[in-house]
A = this chain, B = another copy of it.
């Protein structure tokens, strides 16, 4: 089976690190990529500081097939992502003519401000990412995809990248709910994982109406391998007298 390409998300923004804003992009992008057969292998949250952005981008682009950034591409002084990425790649930074054309076409003439046109300043030689919501494009440079932080706009732009990203087979998952706490099924579960190393098995405790339980998640690009591991686990639970259920909402 083909190798699954990896991805890394760099979330740029003081508001996430201060706790003011709850990030909503990591989970969305992770699920989007899994559908395309790309595995999110790491995520970082960095402040609106050039040195921090440059360092994270350069470390991650060397390490992963795809890097996505969210945040910091608006019109205000704290939007320094584009300039920082030019610095990370060591390329000139300046006005992108096509991006400027799109902004001028979108805003009524009396609403065109210097601040808004700054959103057309980008590293030299980028490929634009269409923004069907509010015109200001993102961009691709090397293996780095630069997206905005506002979830609705980010999602619309990401959607347009479906055919631009090359994945492996989609990553599937199957979840089984056990009505027993983790500590009482852990040994049997560990044996199933040891016997099925080709499937990634996760164990997540929960509490429902005062009763502890565990959700077991099987993940792999090979649906048959998932079913083999799940069958072995279900058999082990039957033998232990633990009630189980398929979880339908994942």
Contacts and interface: CB of A to CB of B under 8 A. Distances in A.
Interface in A60-81: 74-79
A47 B8 CA distance: 12
A40 B26 contact: no
B45 A17 contact: no
A116 interface: yes
B18 A193 contact: no
A158 to B, nearest CB: 13
B43 A17 contact: yes
How many identical chains are in the complex? Answer: 2
A118 to B, nearest CB: 8
A9 to B, nearest CB: 8
Nearest to A7: B17
Contacts of A45: 26, 42-44
Interface in A101-117: 107, 111, 113-116
A184 B113 contact: yes
Contacts of A116: 183, 186
A217 interface: yes
A205 to B, nearest CB: 7
A22 interface: yes
Interface of A: 14-24, 26-31, 34, 40-48, 52, 74-79, 107, 111, 113-116, 118-119, 150, 171, 173, 182-184, 186-187, 189-190, 193-194, 200-205, 217, 219, 250
